[in-house]
Amino acid sequence: GAVVSQHPSWVICKSGTSVKIECRSLDFQATTMFWYRQFPKQSLMLMATSNEGSKATYEQGVEKDKFLINHASLTLSTLTVTSAHPEDSSFYICSARVPGQGAYGYTFGSGTRLTVV
Amino acid sequence: DQQVKQNSPSLSVQEGRISILNCDYTNSMFDYFLWYKKYPAEGPTFLISISSIKDKNEDGRFTVFLNKSAKHLSLHIVPSQPGDSAVYFCAASDTFTGNQFYFGTGTSLTVIP
């Protein structure tokens, strides 16, 4: 089946540094990818929608200058957390719509646990 | 505004018995629903889905029931196994207007051997 590979699976970084998370669609072309974030004891919340070759669309309350999303190719989307702070510590996960599977074809990456110290 | 709710944060079931996880939603436009299982420090693993044209979908030990009038869906696991112990999320989407999934807060299932 369609697979989205997400890396790294976990990362610890110092406050003030930047972290890049990658999501690659391995056997299909993802024109659109979705980035979610989950805080402890809360549900996954959509952060932004990234479209290949264009600017990402951010959800209300998500700082676009802090969470940089790049979708430069049909198989790769990246989320960069810039100047990370401890409050950015969270679980980040990407999702992509799988072509040819109609309105119901989605696949998720395995997620990235970010801890900012 | 939480459009998808899982009101039971945890559930314990004896091995071999049935596990029933519940999920409620508020948006009547939702037409596609998913259940995910998640182990600690791992991403969600897709379990089973159902579209609004059905009221039941079965896959092995897992069955999802959808009650559109009540805006309620449930996941039944029969028989429950210790390896089923995980956090289960339901998610819903209005596939007509967008691609966003709305997730519940999850139910932690513990299957006791």
Question: So what's the pLDDT on residue A76?
Answer: 94
A43/B95 touch (CB, cutoff 8 Å), yes or no: no
* CA separation for the pair A108, A115 (Å, rounded): 21
* Spatial distance between the Cα atoms of B58 and B64, rounded to a whole number of angstroms: 6
pLDDT digits (tens, 9 = 90+) for B47-105: 888 989 899 999 999 999 999 999 999 999 999 999 999 999 999 988 776 667 888 88
The per-residue pLDDT for A104 is 59
Chain A hits for B91, CB-CB cut-off 8 Å, are 44
Nearest to A97 among B46, B89, B99 (CB): B99
pLDDT of residue A102: 63
Backbone dihedral region for residue B96 (phi beyond 0: left; psi -120 to 50: alpha; all else: beta): alpha
User: pLDDT tens digits, residue range A21-44?
Assistant: 999 999 899 888 999 998 776 777
**Contact residues, chain B, for A11 at CB < 8 Å:** none
Kindly indicate the confidence band of residue B42, based on its pLDDT and cuts at 50, 70 and 90. low
User: Which residues lie closer than 8 Å to B33 by C-beta, 6 or more apart?
Assistant: B23, B25, B49, B50, B51, B52, B64, B66, B73, B90, B91, B92, B93
A43 and B106 within 8 Å at the Cβ level: the answer is: yes
Cα B34 to Cα B99: distance, rounded to the nearest angstrom: 13
Q: State whether B103 and A44 contact (CB < 8 Å).
A: yes
Provide mean pLDDT across the span A71-93.
Answer: 93
pLDDT band at B43 (very low <50, low <70, confident <90, very high): low
B contacts of A42 (beta carbons < 8 Å): 105
Answer yes or no: do A44 and B91 touch at CB < 8 A.
yes
Test B43 with A45 for CB contact under 8 angstroms: no
